[in-house]
Amino acid sequence: LASTYGECTADGARVIFEALGLGAGDVFADLGSGVGKLAAQAYLELPVSRVVAVELSETRHQRAVRAWQMVCASGDCDRPADG
C-alpha cells in the first residue's frame, strides 16, 4: 500500500458531487477512502440513500472510524453509511 494518497478539497468535492448529480435513490461509494473525509462530506451534503467507504490501510480505516463516531455523537447520523 502507498503511504500517501491524493485528497480532494471540500470545494473540489462539491464540484464532483454536482457533476455526478446524485439523488435520493443513489449510493455514493468512495474506494480508497483514506481517513473518510470525502465519504463523510458526501453523507452530510448529498441526498443519497447510502454512503459506502472502503479503505485497505488499517491505520487510515481506524482514523476514519474514530472520525465517523464523532460525527454520529454530534447527532448527524440519520441514514445508513457503510465502511
What's residue 81's pLDDT?
59
Q: Please report, in angstroms and rounded to a whole number, the separation of the first and last CA atoms in the chain.
A: 18
Site of grid cell 477512502:
33
The torsion angle over the Cα atoms of residues 8, 53, 43 and 46, rounded to 10 degrees, is 70
pTM of the complete model beyond 0.85? no
Tens of pLDDT, residues 26-80:
999 999 999 999 999 999 999 999 999 999 999 999 999 999 998 888 887 876 5
What's residue 17's pLDDT?
96
Q: Which three three-digit cell numbers place residue 78?
A: 440519520
List the one residue out of 17, 69, 73 whose CA is nearest residue 41. Answer: 17
List the one residue out of 13, 2, 17, 16 whose CA is nearest residue 47. Answer: 17
